Structure 1
Amino acid sequence: MLDEGARDAGEETPDPKTISRLEDGESSSVWRFAKVDRAAVLIDAADYFAAMQEAMLKARYRIFLIGWDFDTRIHLAEGRRWWQRSYKREYPVRLGSFISWLVRHRPTLEIRMLKWSFGIFKFVIRGSMWWDLTRWARHRRIDFKFDSAHPTGCSHHQKIAVLDNSLAVCGGIDMTVKRWDTRDHNEDEPLRKTPRGGPYEPWHDATMMMEGEVADALSDLGRDRWIRAGGTPLLPVQRTDRSLWPDGLEPTFENIEVGIARTRAAHRDWDKVDEIETLFVEHIGRAKKFIYAESQYFASRAIGEAMLKRVQEDDPPEIVIVHPRHADGWLEQQAMDHARAQLVRCIEEADKKGRFSIWTPYSGITPIYVHAKMMIVDDRIFRIGSANMNNRSMGLDSECDVFVDCEREGNGHAEDAIRRIRHSLLAEHCGLEEDEIGDLLDTHGSMATMIDHSITEDGRNLVRYHPPELNEVEEKVAESGLLDPEDPEDLFEPFAKGGLFRKGSRLARMRERIRRKKAK
């Protein structure tokens, strides 16, 4: 059982309907704002897994992990095996064994894990994971639950962790296979292996670890989701003064306020929540100088419309998107790659001043898969979370993003930190030093021109994306949104709302202009 002193004994877990009613506020783009004492943006899973293991070692009451996927076979400190212990380390590094070790050595600790239910089919080929779940079943303080509380065709996609209601994580990294990598993204990385020993391509990802009141807010969101998924209501944990912050982890931000936005499809008697889509459109509309974004997909009709509108202005902001060469998997490529081609072609047709560009990062001749979900606007807004720039993240899947807005009272001092994040990412992708980026941007006048002038033959590069020509079938799939719908009902009636090119929209008008040009 939990130490009762760590609970708010006078508070009961609210019914989901009550939580939903309490969530309703004046803004349609933000669920809640919360104070953060310090936060660290963690780029790539090598640093994240190590930081999470250290934080979990400090937890005493509850570790609450919410994700699209978990794989107990991964190593939180990659390169070690469960039998390899240093004289300073008495705990295993394999996730499944580490969870078991924690509950044996922390008598007041409970561990709750929630993952998307569809992934249960993957367990067939994850033999040792069955053994971990069997072992965990004997521990009443470990509860592993599958989330199927969504309409058919939707997924549970949030990546959240809450520890003792003191430390929280929100971002794009799942604790699963094929995520671990360092910021070097070496082409030949011997530690970048699946549990079965096979290599995988370089993987770029990001998340944010936060300490403070934001943990209470994300705990509320998580406990609500737990109940919706059929879990027994969880008593809230009351925060203490004891810090779980990993030793040596330098904060990116201190003393700020973050906003939290969500996506959730309508289901049963739960209303639809589309704060993330609304917030994307707001943030794109606020850009004065530039937008720098990283996303696994670029297929959202709403985001495409918002960016198309901006590039048609007399003085448009620069828009740079870092993106994988192809989506991961054949079906995803049919849904996302073809829609990307259509959107980019329309935006480029309207982009008379050349302010829009999409880039793929490479390590030598090897493309780096981009799984990060981040956006920076004018170095005044920084957002990170689980939502991609595709339709599913706007209306189908359960998502959670957090953001720092320098316009919020008390957040003005965060601008320098946001600028350092952008410079650090550009330096990483272009194989440059971070302290070079500011001068190079001043010299070249734009991110795109700087990127073009930093290309090397065999180092780290960003390669510009050019949309390929699609055949008739590929165009129909892309335009229908059949495989990437905005609403669960669109799965069965893909053209009911007009698909990617709704009648009278900017995108539809631009597509017609392109077709007329081709016909001449």
Structure 2
Amino acid sequence: MSVEKNFVANSEWWAPTDFPVREMQRLAFLIDGRTTMLEMCHRFLSAKETIYIASWGLTPDMPMVRGKHHRAGEDGTPDQEVLLSWLRDKGMSESDLRFWQKCEVLSVVNVLGYAVAKGVDVRILLWDTLKVPFQAGRKQVKEALEAVGVQCVLDDSQLTIEHPIASLHQKAITVDGQIAFVGGIDLMTEADGDHDRWDTKGHVYNNILRTRKDGKLSYGWHDMHVTFEGPAVADVEANFCQRWNALHLRRDANFSEPLQPSSPEDQQPSNQVEKIQMQVVRTIPRNTYTFALEDGIATIMDVYQRAFARAQRSIYLENQYFWRRTYLGLETPLVSLPTEVMEQLFTSLAEALNRGVTVTMLLPDNPNVGRDFTDDGLKLLWERAPEAVAAGKLQVYTLASSLQQEETVYYRPIYIHAKIAIVDDQWVTIGSANLNNRGMRDDAEINVALYHPTMARGLRMLLLAEHLGLADEDTLFRVVQTMGRTDPSEHLQKMDSDLQQEWQRLEHLLGEPEAAMDLLIQQAQSNIQAVKERRVLSGHIVPYIRRDLAQEYDINVDAASGWLDHLNDKDTPLNEQSSDDISEEQSIEASAS
């Protein structure tokens, strides 16, 4: 596609430092944990040489594959044979398939242990933190992994006078130097089993596959990863090797076995496939690692600034935070510090609004910390672009699920953890970096930025179709599979007739950003009325309500936990009929055909 080739020559979109722009041969969007972990699991089991994982948190006994994707039926049954055929099409060997079938729980530790037993070199860099957010303490995680032969190193490089409360937040994986995963999803749950990163696209309220250890329901979790093949895999691997080597050299001056990344020259795409221009971008705080001591690396901030400056029509954002000030541990912006880099980013976003760009944002109603900081950031946009706000150019939403049992309707927030930006349906960034001081300056982060109009527009449509409830899981699953092939533009035109008809329907509803925005506005208004009348929601879109604007909605908003968590008198009892999302399970058969 000539537009992509022309784009490579235009340096105004790309960060000029750190890793270069690469021509990629395959890239697939992995929306939500179920799709992401399914892809990771079969890649781990099929690995031949290496698996390198850089992670913020990890729960060894967390099941990566659940329900009918693990076992669709008894041996020899049609459903099970369809599943096995689908996995074979993904390249799994017969021995790997036997493990898949016989392993009682495809947990992180079981899957990685199997890879080690095959002779794969599995290494993990795990953030070493004073306060442990994941299920087992960091030493217990390390011990559980090392018990099956994984080399797990606790990385405490952030524990300096300059960065005492920073984190090593990257979520990046390479397999055999040929396949990479980058995004917002860690293979983990929280300490009590809540905030389980594994979730379906339907975010079913009472999915018993996501039950906490205490028997209660885990919050829905919306997140995203991207997987790709091609020269940029070497850049993701180089990031891991740089961190691994710097950490070992700091601890042992005689360290003499540095890891060497694969070469990007070995992974050049064929001239016969459609190229996808992509750049790996990072935040590495200064004086954290020896490879970026003096100035650090801030190419994530750089590409965000460049994209916002070039936006002409639309900016779509999903993020966990939206802070202009530095959070210091107290839930009030009054006790905080100004953040220069975020002031710059907010200025760029306000300037885009003032020149007529439509900005749509999805933020969690109940972030783990700093909801008032997000409100503070939104207020600043209101103040700097009042005419744009009055014209409806800025729309902010959150996600919720609902369930009716007998006469009672229950509501819950869906935790938005994705870190996504789509500009003008052309440029995309996905990764680990939040829109706050930590993501842009103070934490170690990794994103990818790419330019491909077909895939950018398709991603926006897939996300909105999920959030608005416009397509079932079968359709979304199959379209994601299609977009993950080479030549995505051609494949989107060659779907089977049923899927093509569904995709055309979504294009009619969501293809134009302005029309899609109208649907978001309508559903948010309809759903806030449904809440007041105690009715089941349509889709998942509801307004994000700033606490200072709560009276306009006649809704009580808590400064720390928002409004959705306070609508129920008690937790919902489990409904055993919701053990899995049937429509998504049917996608196995559809995608195998």
TM-score of the superposition, structure 1-length normalised? 0.73
Aligned partner of 1:118 in structure 2 is 129
Stretch moving more, 344-353 or 217-226: 344-353
Give the secondary structure class of the aligned counterpart of 1:301.
helix
Aligned length: 421
TM-score of the superposition, structure 2-length normalised? 0.65
Aligned residue runs from structure 1 range 499-518, under 5 A: none
Task: Please state how far the C-alpha of 1:341 moved relative to its aligned partner.
Answer: 4.2
Q: Deviations over 1:355-402 (max 9, x none)?
A: 111111222332211101111111110111111111211110011110
Aligned partner of 1:20 in structure 2 is none
Task: Please state how far the C-alpha of 1:193 moved relative to its aligned partner.
Answer: 2.4
Task: Please state how far the C-alpha of 1:194 moved relative to its aligned partner.
Answer: 3.4
RMSD: 3.4
Aligned residue runs from structure 1 range 25-424, under 5 A: 27-28=15-16, 31-79=19-67, 88=98, 89-91=101-103, 92-104=105-117, 106-107=118-119, 109-118=120-129, 121-122=132-133, 126=136, 133-134=142-143, 136-137=145-146, 142-150=150-158, 151-177=163-189, 178-195=196-213, 197-230=215-248, 233-236=257-260, 238=262, 255-267=275-287, 270=293, 271-299=295-323, 300-313=342-355, 316-328=356-368, 331-334=369-372, 336-347=373-384, 349-351=386-388, 352-364=390-402, 365-405=411-451, 414-424=452-462
Aligned residue runs from structure 1 range 435-450, under 5 A: 435-441=504-510, 445-450=514-519
Q: Deviations over 1:375-433 (max 9, x none)?
A: 1111110111111111211110011110112xxxxxxxx32222111111111111114
User: What percent of counterpart residues are identical?
Assistant: 24
Q: Deviations over 1:35-83 (max 9, x none)?
A: 3221110000111111101001111111001111111021011249999
- Separation in 2, partners of 1:195, 1:35: 45
In structure 2, what residue type is equivalent to 1:71? T
Report which of the two has the higher share of helix: 2
Structure 1 residues 450 and 110: alpha-carbon distance in aligned structure 2, compared to 1, 3 A threshold: same
Q: Deviations over 1:103-144 (max 9, x none)?
A: 12x12x111011111167357x628x86664354356x5211
Q: Deviations over 1:415-468 (max 9, x none)?
A: 222211111111111111464443335799443322122445422132223432
- Separation in 2, partners of 1:163, 1:453: 44
In structure 1, what residue type is equivalent to 2:382? R
Task: Please state how far the C-alpha of 1:302 moved relative to its aligned partner.
Answer: 2.8
- Consecutive unaligned residues in structure 1, runs of 5 or more: 1-25, 244-252, 406-413, 471-476, 479-520
Aligned partner of 1:4 in structure 2 is none
In structure 2, what residue type is equivalent to 1:163? V
In structure 1, what residue type is equivalent to 2:136? R
Task: Please state how far the C-alpha of 1:97 moved relative to its aligned partner.
Answer: 2.3
Stretch moving more, 417-426 or 225-234: 225-234
- Separation in 2, partners of 1:428, 1:333: 24
Structure 1 residues 61 and 242: alpha-carbon distance in aligned structure 2, compared to 1, 3 A threshold: farther
Give the secondary structure class of the aligned counterpart of 2:547.
coil
Give the secondary structure class of the aligned counterpart of 2:447.
strand
Structure 1 residues 461 and 77: alpha-carbon distance in aligned structure 2, compared to 1, 3 A threshold: closer
Structure 1 residues 428 and 35: alpha-carbon distance in aligned structure 2, compared to 1, 3 A threshold: same
- Separation in 2, partners of 1:468, 1:256: 42
**Is the Cα contact below 8 Å between 1:68 and 1:174 reproduced in 2?**
yes
- Consecutive unaligned residues in structure 2, runs of 5 or more: 1-13, 76-97, 190-195, 250-254, 268-272, 324-341, 403-410, 472-502, 531-536, 550-558, 561-593
- Separation in 1, partners of 2:283, 2:261: 25
- Separation in 1, partners of 2:72, 2:456: 39
Structure 1 residues 453 and 101: alpha-carbon distance in aligned structure 2, compared to 1, 3 A threshold: same
- Separation in 2, partners of 1:441, 1:135: 46
Q: Deviations over 1:270-319 (max 9, x none)?
A: 13211111211110111111111111111143322111112222xx1111
